[in-house]
Amino acid sequence: MGNVFYRNPRHSYPLAVRGEGVYLYDSQGRQYFDGSGGAAVTCLGHCHPDVVEAIQRQVELLAFAHTAFFTNEPQERLAAALAARFGEDDARVYFVSGGSEANETALKLVRQYWVAHGREDKHVVISRRQSYHGNTLGALSLSGNPGRSQIYAPLLHQWPKIEPCYAYRQQRDDESEADYASRCAASLERAIDEIGAHRVAAFIAEPVVGATLGAVPAVGQYFSTIREICDRHEVLLVADEVMCGCARSGTYFAFEQEAIRPDIVTVAKGLAGGHLPIGAAIARGFIHRQIVDSFGAFSHGHTYVGHATACAAASAVADVIEREKLVEQVSTRGAILKRALQQAFRDHPHVGDVRGRGLLLGIELVCDRETKTPPDAKLGLAEEIRTRAMSNGLICYP
Ligand code: PLP
């Protein structure tokens, strides 16, 4: 152990020295099957040759040029590809270095949009419990993840959090999926009414909840009802697709399966598949127009915005996804994997639920399948499974 400020200084980490396809190798020559792609990052496998080549080419040509002075070809190309995927010609893409920065960018876009409208009061952003939007202070304020935010509570915005759409635990036995979806979505309208629509700027949610709930998609018309509520109250809708986007859940954007279009969508992890750090906030054209017409520019920026090499890596990932029809592959193989998991754990007394979309799948552990009693958090069961799986050569995400 050296001078690194390790995530867990009491833990002894193997030294990763090589990645190839689905495998990682440590300095002892041990092979690990990276089943979760880290935290749902590595979407093409490790060191994909096309991406490695694109990075090498770009570094030799132009590694970086500050975007206060220049634009660059890789960010232009990637922005056009993402706008096309988003389905709006005049969508605008703001490139950053990861998921938290993408959500900070979304927060600021939302705020500046409403100020541009002369609606200074609109500043509250509603999110959901059991969610995660990042570790920077704005994104952490949005996150319904007490384990990660409690210590920092005095530094955070105390914005309201509504219930998640979590059918396994919250749909009543006497309730249809459609009824549960509308009951759950109604909690947004109640929150807006309590705060006052004139103060609410946006609602943010993960279309498939990632780490904090364990691969939970919404049910029925939940998101279309959410979209209607947002429209009715002039509240912008932000889809956080940092984990579930970029093809992982079986469509390029997870929101496509909800037949809605958010006003802003954020992506990161799968964008360059871990080859380089990059994230993005994609905003609908009307948001960009309003900000530019009123202020001339978006009041934001980081040094590594639109980093040429990171954008080149992400462009290469997008090309592979397109060429190898990986969106369709994820959908087909996700269904096969889900069926296999359901089959394998059909009679397991401690597997309560197998769920998810595409290749973003999760298993919920319970003490008892009938009562759905969760295991005592003090047992650290998920962490124990992660550790044991890793010592057996499998990486999964608790
Ligand atoms: N949003 C979601 C849904 C995430 O899963 C994560 C990371 O796990 C983030 C935001 C934060 O992204 P990053 O860790 O790249 O800052």
- With the most atoms of ligand 1 within 8 angstroms of its CB, the residue from 7, 101, 128, 133 to mutate is 133
- Against a cut of 0.95, is the pTM above it? yes
Cβ neighbour number for residue 11 with a 10 Å cutoff: 9
- With the most atoms of ligand 1 within 8 angstroms of its CB, the residue from 100, 103, 278 to mutate is 100
Nearest-angstrom CA–CA distance, 396 and 398: 7
Handedness of CA 291, 311, 321, 344 (dihedral sign): negative
Q: Where are the alpha helices (DSSP H) in 212-325?
A: 222-232, 269-272, 285-295, 308-323
Q: Say if ligand 1 is within 6 A of residue 100 CB.
A: yes
Cβ neighbour number for residue 317 with a 10 Å cutoff: 28
Q: Which residues pair with 93 in a beta bridge?
A: 282
Q: Say if ligand 1 is within 6 A of residue 220 CB.
A: no
Going residue by residue through the chain (398 aa), what tens digit of pLDDT does each one get?
799 999 999 999 999 999 999 999 999 999 999 999 999 999 999 999 999 999 999 999 999 999 999 999 999 999 999 999 999 999 999 999 999 999 999 999 999 999 999 999 999 999 999 999 999 999 999 999 999 999 999 999 999 999 999 999 999 999 999 999 999 999 999 999 999 999 999 999 999 999 899 999 999 999 999 999 999 999 999 999 999 999 999 999 999 999 999 999 999 999 999 999 999 999 999 999 999 999 999 999 999 999 999 999 999 999 999 999 999 999 999 999 999 999 999 999 999 999 999 999 999 999 999 999 999 989 999 999 999 999 999 999 99
Q: CB-side exposure of 341: number of CA atoms within 13 Å?
A: 18
Q: Say if ligand 1 is within 6 A of residue 356 CB.
A: no
C-alpha of residue 126 to centroid of ligand 1, in Å: 18
C-alpha of residue 101 to centroid of ligand 1, in Å: 9
Nearest-angstrom CA–CA distance, 157 and 386: 33
Tell me how many helices (H) and strands (E) the chain has: 14, 15
